[in-house]
C-alpha cells in the first residue's frame, strides 16, 4: 500500500519544485495550501508523513507548529519534515520536540527533500519499462 503524505503550505503558495519532488514519489499526496485547510485532513488521520513549508514570519511559523502538533496527535507515527527560510535555534528546538525527521532550508529544499524522502523509505514511481532512479539523479 502506498504511503500517504500531507504537504502543508503557509498561505504563500507551495513551492512547485517541492510538489514535483513529492508527486514523483510512490505515495498518495494530499495538499493543504494553508494551516487552516490542513486541520480537516489531519482529523481524518492516516498520514505516514507530513511536510510543512513555512516562511520567516514568526506568526506563520507558530501557526504551522500548531498544525504539526495536531499532526503528531492525530498521526503519532507520521514522519514530519519542516521546510523553512531559516531553521534557527527556536525552530530547531520545536522540530526536535515534535520529533521531526528533518528541518530543511528552502534554498536547498528540493534536493534535500529528495534525499530525506529516500532515507525515510520512499522511492520514485516507476513506469513500465523505466528503471528506478537514485535521489538527485
Could you tell me if residue 75 is inside a domain?
yes
**Cα separation of 58 and 125, whole Å?**
36
The answer to the question of residue 92 being in a domain is yes
Residue 112: which CATH number?
3.40.50.2300
Domain of residue 87: give its range: 3-119
pTM of the model: 0.85
**Residue 74: inside a domain, yes or no?**
yes
Residue 51 β-bridge partners: 7, 81
Q: For the segment 102-125, what is each residue's pLDDT rounded down to a tens digit?
A: 999 888 878 899 899 989 888 877
Please indicate, yes or no, if residue 134 is contained in any of the structural domains: no
Is residue 133 one of the residues assigned to a domain?
A: no
Q: Is 128 among the domain residues?
A: no
Task: Yes or no: say if 117 and 20 are a contact pair by the CB < 8 Å rule.
Answer: no
Lowest mean pLDDT among 16-20, 85-89, 133-137: 133-137
Say how many domains are in the chain: 1
* Inside any domain, residue 9: yes
Q: Check pLDDT > 70 for residue 89.
A: yes
Q: Does any domain span residue 130?
A: no
State residue 102's pLDDT score: 92
Amino acid at each position: 500500500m502506498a504511503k500517504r503524505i500531507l504537504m502543508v503550505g503557509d498561505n504563500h503558495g507551495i513551492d512547485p519544485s517541492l510538489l514535483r519532488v513529492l508527486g514523483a514519489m510512490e505515495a498518495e499526496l494530499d495538499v493543504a495550501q494553508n494551516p487552516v485547510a490542513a486541520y480537516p485532513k489531519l482529523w481524518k488521520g492516516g498520514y505516514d508523513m507530513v511536510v510543512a513549508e513555512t516562511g520567516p514570519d514568526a506568526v506563520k511559523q507558530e501557526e504551522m507548529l500548531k498544525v504539526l502538533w495536531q499532526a503528531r496527535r492525530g498521526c503519532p507515527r507520521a514522519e514530519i519534515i519542516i521546510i523553512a527560510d531559516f531553521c534557527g535555534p527556536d525552530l530547531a528546538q520545536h522540530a526536535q520536540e515534535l520529533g521531526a525527521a528533518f528541518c530543511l532550508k528552502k534554498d536547498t529544499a528540493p534536493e534535500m527533500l529528495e534525499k530525506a524522502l529516500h532515507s525515510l523509505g520512499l522511492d520514485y514511481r516507476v513506469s513500465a519499462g523505466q528503471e528506478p532512479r537514485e535521489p538527485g539523479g
